[in-house]
Structure 1
Amino acid sequence: MHAVYELVSANQADAKGAGVQTMCRVLGISSSGYYDWLKRLPSRRTMDNAVLIERIRQVHADSDATYGMPRVRAALQQQGEQVSRKRVARLMRTHAMRGVSRRRSFTVTTERNVRARPAPDLVNRRFYARGPNELWVADMTYVPTWAGFVYLAVVLDAFSRKVVGWAMGEQMTATLVVSALNMALHTRKPESVIHHSDQGSQYTSLAFGQRCREMGVRPSMGTVGDAYDNAMAESFFATLECELIARRSWPSKAQARTALFTWIEGWYNPRRLHSSLGYRSPNEFERSHEHAQAGDKHGLPTAAVSSSQTPPAAVDNPASASPIA
């Protein structure tokens, strides 16, 4: 019977089609039955929502179930789907989809060498840059596995939040932070960049200081145990913890290393959307900046890419460990 009703409905879509009464009589069905069938059909809004929820599911799954409503909506808009915040929020709530929001408690891992002389603080909590390779921020964290800890050192570009250097090891050594710095130097080739960190013994070591002098890097250091003085790095690690570390466990250190590499190079840098970057990934944000710079050189009108960054005063509070925007 369903197929017969569909035939009547298709006929009504044709301007030259016969009337409902005529079609029903010819096909041997009642017109009241046809109209009852029409009432039971899902509305256009219901069908649109069914399509939209599948797109939302895909975006949410692609983020490893880390995106909440704002980033899901931004991803949909980038795909050409213009949809309101309320509608996305309602559909995600109805279908039990939510992003990660667990806050990271600030843990002091800094061990200061009291005999070492720290570099001056050239940043003063103003984590802002007008272009790439003006200001880098660096820090270390530990990642638990069943076989012990893996230590991760990173260097972030304050302009784009991109991880430009990283290194992993089984001890928190000067070699680890020098390796992360060397990767950043090799891939970015900066001129007189500021490298900001805490006063950990690894960063005040002779080896690290010598490498900075050799490469023209200007070291900058905040105080010991104050998360505000290295807010951007702390915010990055809060994101890493709530999106990866707190949701996984690894039997071996090798598995943890692979997961960290995949998260940084396969997700965070190329794909993760940042509200402070206009809901773009670090890589995309830098590409936009490069295109804008190229347009300026040729006298073409361009948008001010850096204006979409979060102002210094709005950097996430690391003491409350909110994830990086």
Structure 2
Amino acid sequence: MRLDYPIASLCRSFGVSRSGFYAWLNSIPSERAKVDERLKLAITAVHKQSRETYGPLRMQPELAAQGFKAGRDRIIRLRRVLALRCKQKQKFKATTNSNHQLPVAENLLNQTFSPSSPNEVWVTDISVPQQAA
């Protein structure tokens, strides 16, 4: 954008002084910003290592073991900046209703799994695989 428009026009439209823009452009990162960058890498690594299941409370001791001294709120802030979220455990959803008045097929096989000839017994599985909500 700086190549297409003069700096003075851009600063005026964003409500920033030219000297403030150049001070920001030439500023060096603070110690906290440098530590935050290293901490972001460590948080991302712990997040992947835990298969995206650790929240800030479980992540804090892991980071302390790696030598990072960070409080819960700082970890929360950096996780928000990185857009890291924990995977939520899904509640089990029962799909079978055994309390019904519908007819139930008779068990003709009676646990006899050794037929005497081919095509004498045919079976199937009616279990329902777990589906995403």
TM-score (norm 2): 0.49
Higher relative contact order (CA 8 A, sep 6+): 1
Higher helix share goes to which structure? 1
Larger Cα-atom Rg: 2
